[in-house]
């Protein structure tokens, strides 16, 4: 019999904390550590967004959990302008950044379908898909990628499909940058009676063709998840949203009200302004594109490894033989911190993820240290 003690949940080390031992090596450089590990934006959000944050006069009362009318109208307005998708404001709601939504979703979906216990997620992926399943006491089952990097839906065991509470897709993918076939994911979900959640937080940084949403394939059975963190350099504000299937969104809105999931009022007001503006997104896209090219050139000159540009997102992702060995060498020789690929699943252990989230002059500094500027 399993003892209670052996089943007690012990949180695993937070992935980025595992990089702490490299920090002193990198920090010893003149100019200090250049952190290219966590994908945290460094560029400024629009001034009008900060003005809205300071002047909304919404501090006193509790904000609506689902989002203010103004925020939900800004969300549907953005979906219409950006993707030509027509949703009602009842089909969208706010979340406190998308991480909490990803991490808590399996609990709510399990309460809705207690006979099911499985979360399907991309095999090499943002770790919170798996962690959300673990936190809910569910099974996390990894779906392998096809050669093109999309979900290999044919590889899903029918027994797992029957037990599935939901399927996650993430396009553009963190960390691989691959674009998924969202139409195929939506069709698979409908055919198998499994809701599909599509994490689209990098959609504004799509390099191969147009940015795409799963909602282009209809909203029945699918929910798109978005974030202002990357689009508008507002990771510190904590505003995201989810949109799609009327019944699922309504269920999540109601349950999340009971939990007290509230985006602060001033943050909601600022998000309204950010969603209405596209100019800053165009500027940010240009910055990331330039930095991806600069960093790919620097690292391939230094290492001799051919480094592909991603189809989307702001990460370089490449096979370095051994992710940890490469990360240590780069900290020692270039004073830069990057993520070993096993942070994103054992299938990524040979890889390295480089987040181009530092100003251009900091990336040039790394190239100078490596002797390839």
Residue ranges in contact with ligand PLP by CB under 6 A: 39, 97-99, 102, 126, 170, 174, 199, 201, 227, 229, 235, 240
Q: Between residues 98 and 268, which has the closer beta carbon with respect to ligand PLP? A: 98
Q: Between residues 76 and 233, which has the closer beta carbon with respect to ligand PLP? A: 233
Least gap, CB of 128 to ligand PLP (angstroms):
7
Least gap, CB of 60 to ligand PLP (angstroms):
26
Tokens coding 315: 């990460």
Nearest alpha carbon to residue 281 among 227, 325, 318: 227
Q: Between residues 316 and 370, which has the closer beta carbon with respect to ligand PLP? A: 316
Tokens coding 263: 């985006």
Least gap, CB of 23 to ligand PLP (angstroms):
20
Q: Between residues 93 and 201, which has the closer beta carbon with respect to ligand PLP? A: 201
- Do 339 and 355 meet the contact criterion of CB atoms below 8 Å apart? yes
Tokens coding 83: 């993707």
Determine the Cα–Cα distance for residues 130 and 128; give it in Å rounded to an integer.
Answer: 5
Determine the Cα–Cα distance for residues 34 and 121; give it in Å rounded to an integer.
Answer: 31
Q: Between residues 150 and 227, which has the closer beta carbon with respect to ligand PLP? A: 227
Secondary structure (DSSP) of 249-278: HHHHHHHHHHHT----HHHHHHHHHHHH--
Report phi then psi at 37, rounded to 5.
Answer: -95, -70
Least gap, CB of 94 to ligand PLP (angstroms):
11
Least gap, CB of 229 to ligand PLP (angstroms):
3
Q: Which residues contact 50 (CB under 8 A, 6 or more apart)?
A: 270
Q: Nearest 5 degrees, angle CA 209-CA 231-CA 275?
A: 105
Least gap, CB of 28 to ligand PLP (angstroms):
28
Q: Between residues 36 and 235, which has the closer beta carbon with respect to ligand PLP? A: 235
């Amino acid at each position: 019999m399993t003892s209670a003690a052996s089943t007690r949940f012990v949180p695993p080390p937070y992935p980025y904390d595992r990089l702490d031992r490299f920090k002193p090596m990198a920090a010893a450089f003149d100019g200090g550590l250049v952190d290219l590990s966590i994908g945290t934006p460094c560029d400024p959000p629009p001034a009008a967004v900060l003005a809205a944050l300071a002047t909304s006069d919404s501090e006193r009362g509790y904000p609506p959990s689902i989002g203010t009318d103004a925020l939900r109208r800004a969300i549907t307005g953005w979906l219409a302008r950006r993707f030509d998708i027509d949703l009602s404001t009842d089909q969208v709601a706010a979340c406190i950044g998308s991480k909490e939504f990803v991490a808590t979703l399996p609990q709510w979906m399990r309460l809705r379908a207690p006979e099911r216990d499985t979360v399907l997620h991309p095999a090499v992926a943002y770790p919170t898909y798996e962690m959300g399943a673990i936190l809910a006491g569910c099974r996390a089952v990894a779906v392998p990628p096809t050669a093109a990097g999309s979900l290999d839906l044919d590889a899903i065991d029918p027994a797992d499909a029957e037990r599935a509470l939901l399927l996650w897709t993430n396009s553009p993918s963190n960390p691989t940058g691959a674009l998924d076939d969202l139409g195929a994911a939506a069709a698979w979900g409908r055919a198998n009676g499994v809701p599909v959640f599509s994490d689209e937080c990098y959609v504004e940084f799509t390099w191969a063709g147009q940015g795409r949403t799963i909602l282009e394939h209809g909203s029945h059975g699918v929910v798109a998840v978005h974030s202002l963190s990357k689009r508008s350099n507002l990771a510190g504000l904590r505003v995201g949203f989810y949109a799609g299937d009327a019944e699922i969104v309504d269920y999540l809105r109601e349950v999340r009200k009971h939990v007290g999931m509230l985006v602060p009022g001033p943050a909601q007001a600022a998000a309204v302004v950010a969603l209405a503006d596209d100019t800053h997104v165009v500027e940010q896209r240009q910055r990331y594109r330039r930095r991806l090219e600069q960093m790919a050139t620097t690292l391939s000159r230094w290492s001799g490894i051919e480094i592909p540009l991603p189809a989307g997102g702001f990460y370089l992702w490449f096979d370095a033989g051994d992710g940890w060995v490469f990360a240590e060498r780069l900290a020692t020789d270039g004073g830069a911190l990057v993520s070993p690929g096993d942070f994103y699943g054992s299938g990524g252990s040979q890889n390295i993820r480089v987040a181009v989230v530092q100003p251009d002059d900091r990336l040039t500094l790394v190239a100078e240290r490596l002797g390839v500027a």
